[in-house]
A = this chain, B = another copy of it.
């Protein structure tokens, strides 16, 4: 299930790596392009479409009355974003890097027979996303900054890591504040933790956005509190 090959969408948080981007525009899908910083949708917007990410990175954010925000998720190629709750979007969605998506008109209240394929895929994506959100709880609950950051780096590697000899390369499209608001830390703590990782030869950096994981086993050990 949830295989791209079989035409199933993968949910926002899914840790499975997309083999290829889906190619199902045709009948009811059309493409949209966003540059960095552009909104795909806002919180509480009426939800008419669900979006399949083809290229780039998106950030899903919820904001509280007092202005504090939480980055609920990052979305990458193969993910589906914009699942409606009560006919509206529950988060705002911004491109943190240039983005290409396919928009599918979708109404959860419509009879499933109308678009059986899309309906089934959205359900599968929703159920998968629930598990991914639960996974994220394990990250936010009583864990040290080092464990959180290490787990986040490993998740990123799993989603968008590139081979680089014996090492793994990650291009971070989000900034430190985004990471901090995702992990329940401050940007300073994220920065300090990354510095520690660099000083202990766990990773190497080229600028702030390009990261090389030098020691995957040890990184996994750190993420698990070893």
Using CB atoms and an 8 Å cutoff, list the residues of chain A in contact with chain B: 1-2, 62, 64-66, 68, 70, 72, 83-87, 90-91, 108-109, 111-113, 116, 119-120, 122-124, 126-131, 133-138, 140-142, 181, 184-186, 224-225
- Pairwise interchain contact B142-A90, C-beta atoms closer than 8 A: no
- Pairwise interchain contact B70-A141, C-beta atoms closer than 8 A: yes
Q: Is the interface of A mostly helix, strand, loop or mixed?
A: mixed
> In the complex, A186→B141 CA distance in Å?
10
- Pairwise interchain contact A140-B140, C-beta atoms closer than 8 A: yes
- Pairwise interchain contact A140-B184, C-beta atoms closer than 8 A: yes
Question: Please, which residue of chain B has its CB at the minimum distance from the CB of A72?
Answer: B134
CB<8 Å pairs between A and B, sample of 14: A1-B87, A64-B224, A70-B137, A83-B127, A83-B130, A85-B128, A90-B134, A112-B116, A112-B119, A123-B123, A130-B130, A133-B133, A133-B134, A140-B141
Residues on B with beta carbons closer than 8 Å to the beta carbon of A86: 1-2, 128
- Pairwise interchain contact B91-A134, C-beta atoms closer than 8 A: yes
Residues on B with beta carbons closer than 8 Å to the beta carbon of A131: 85, 90
> In the complex, A128→B136 CA distance in Å?
18
The minimal Cβ–Cβ distance linking A31 to chain B, given in whole angstroms, is: 25
> In the complex, A150→B119 CA distance in Å?
39
Residues on B with beta carbons closer than 8 Å to the beta carbon of A140: 137, 140-141, 184
Residues on B with beta carbons closer than 8 Å to the beta carbon of A130: 83, 85, 90, 126, 129-130, 133
- Pairwise interchain contact A62-B126, C-beta atoms closer than 8 A: no
Residues on B with beta carbons closer than 8 Å to the beta carbon of A181: 141
Given contacts A64-B138, A68-B138, 8 further A-B contacts (CB under 8 A): A90-B130, A91-B134, A119-B123, A130-B133, A133-B133, A141-B184, A142-B184, A142-B186
The minimal Cβ–Cβ distance linking A218 to chain B, given in whole angstroms, is: 16
Residues on B with beta carbons closer than 8 Å to the beta carbon of A112: 112-113, 116, 119-120
Known contacts A112-B113, A184-B141, A134 near B66 by CB under 8 Å: no
Residues on B with beta carbons closer than 8 Å to the beta carbon of A111: 116
User: By CB atoms of chain B within 10 A, which of A85, A181, A184 has the most?
Assistant: A85
- Pairwise interchain contact A137-B138, C-beta atoms closer than 8 A: no
